[in-house]
């Protein structure tokens, strides 16, 4: 049988380990945006992109589709352009956490 003091030490270590695991879990869950808000950021970037506007001939956006992960098809007037979401490989400090950093890769436009 373990001495009562040793039992308290083991219980304290177990509680500290559990608390640490919960803190790490909470921190990592805040590292990225929830999918809904990530999508909002991507759509905002597309709608605010001067390059997308130029490729659409400055016609207003009529439709945005998402046919695959990290791929959007934007239609405005008689033109369509594909826009890829690519990770921004910018410099990050070790242990960096936060929302996904990305940039737009705007393809060639197709106009009818």
Residues 15-73: tens digit of each pLDDT = 555 555 544 444 444 468 899 999 999 999 999 999 999 999 999 999 999 999 999 99
Domains of the chain by residue range: 1-30, 32-111
- Regarding predicted confidence, which is higher, 74 or 28? 74
Predicted TM-score (pTM) of this structure: 0.69
Q: Does residue 38 contact residue 100 with C-beta atoms inside 8 Å?
A: yes
Adjacent-strand bridge partners of 80: 75, 110
Closest listed residue to residue 96, CA positions, set 33, 34, 28, 41: 28
């Amino acid at each position: 049988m373990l001495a009562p003091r040793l039992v308290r030490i083991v219980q304290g270590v177990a509680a500290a380990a559990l608390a640490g695991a919960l803190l790490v879990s909470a921190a990592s869950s805040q590292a990225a945006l929830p999918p809904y808000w990530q999508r909002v950021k991507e759509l905002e970037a597309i709608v605010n992109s001067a390059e997308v506007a130029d490729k659409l001939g400055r016609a207003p956006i009529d439709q945005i589709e998402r046919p695959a992960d990290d791929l959007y098809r934007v239609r405005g007037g008689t033109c369509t352009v594909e826009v890829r979401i690519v990770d921004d490989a910018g410099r990050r400090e070790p242990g960096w956490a936060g929302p996904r950093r990305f940039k737009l890769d705007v393809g060639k436009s197709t106009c009818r």
